[in-house]
Amino acid sequence: MSAFRPWVMWFFTALFFSFQFIIRLFPGLCVPEIMHKFQMNATEFGLLSSMYYYGYTGVQIPIAFLLDRFGPRIIVSLCCFLCSVSIFLFYWAEKWSLVLFARFLIGVGSAAGFLGTFKVISLWFSFPTYAKMFGFTNTVGLLGAVYGGKPVSHLITLYGWENVLLMIGIVGLILTGIIFIAIKPYKLSYPQENHSFFKNFKSLFSIPTLLLIALGNLLMVGPLEGFADVWGVSYLMAAYSFAKTDASFITSSIFIGMILGGPILAYFSEKFKVPYQITTLCGILMAILFAVVLLSNGSLSYMTLSLMMFIVGILCCYQVLIFSMGASTVPLEMRNVTIAFLNCINMLGGVFFHTIIGALMDTFWMGGVSEGQRVYGASAYEYAIWSIPVAAFIGGIVFFFLTSSWKKTFLQTEPFLQKP
């Protein structure tokens, strides 16, 4: 195999990782339009948004197993195809149950984006290049999130959300074929390896430190999965009267910040060996920044908000440290399943925040109706989005507790960010 082939395989797998960011963010760009078409309230829209995360989270461990068993060529191709077909199902669906099911299937298919790229890297790249390749993968994926903001929002304005959704589905089918052609077939794993996978997964629940890391991570994902993914654009339009494209750029600033934040936080963590302290600081600072936004009563400027969300994006990269901290609490043979587990819990945050934000918006709805559809004022959004800084602050405290109560024991057993 030529030295160039692994890069081709990695690129198209990472391109699917980027693609799934676009379809993950899409509903947040057309909240009023989707709510109007299906005549739903905020609680129901929160359920629709969370169905993606139910699907994504529910199959993280099975997808990790299937990637080990059958390899990335078959699994990533099938998942990309499932995403594309589900987009068409969402496009044509008229019944509410079918809409929910389509969004759930999109989440199921998207689950192979991150894990599939991880598998390609582990199979065809040497261990010393892992950190570099993860950095490249993160950049490609987040570029999808950035382009899934203002550019896609502009296309929606020009052509309508349903036509843009149809175009995205067609792109997904093309990408499916390219991935199947580009990725080299994989030799099947042995049955005993499959048994070891499930045994290792069961063992994760006997590690208190890992479970607390997962809890803190879930509480701190609100700025990314609650705000940037879905509710941020409509909140900024309601509270700050921004046009959709401008509101989309402000929320996309979070993803721009994440492109830079990963290397920055990883550098300080490795240099000073303080991942827990850095994660604590990230949670508290995110809570403060969101509190300022919510208390400003719509008085902050476009540039100020963009800068604040850019900083929030840098802070959201505490997730890079989560994977490192989690991996360093388990033996080498358990690290793959640990990454899948932490990614699963991470995405459960989407279920949590979309559900609670939608429910709180209906709780504080002031009774406004337009064309038979509920209209939510700035106050309803503000009360609901307060759940994000409150949870982020609590998550930061969880990591502070880990820092003060577990540091000595942890350092005696296995150093932070230990290199195999």
1.20.1250.20, 1.10.1470.10, 3.40.710.10, 3.40.50.300: which CATH number matches 201-420?
Answer: 1.20.1250.20
The more confident residue out of 44 and 411 is 44
| pLDDT digits 0-9 by tens, 396-411 | 999 998 886 555 544 4
- What CATH number does the domain located at 1-189 have? 1.20.1250.20
Per-residue pLDDT, 400: 93
Six token digits for residue 159: 């052509």
**Quick one: average pLDDT of 31-35?**
87
Q: What is the pLDDT of residues 147-202, one digit of tens each?
A: 777 788 889 989 999 999 999 999 999 999 999 999 988 766 555 555 576 788 88
Instruction: Flag the least confident range among 6-15, 174-183, 248-257, 259-268.
Output: 259-268
Q: What is the pLDDT of residue 416?
A: 39
pLDDT band at 286 (very low <50, low <70, confident <90, very high): very high
Residue ranges of the chain that CATH labels 1.20.1250.20: 1-189, 201-420
Among 61, 356, 351, 318, CA closest to 213: 318
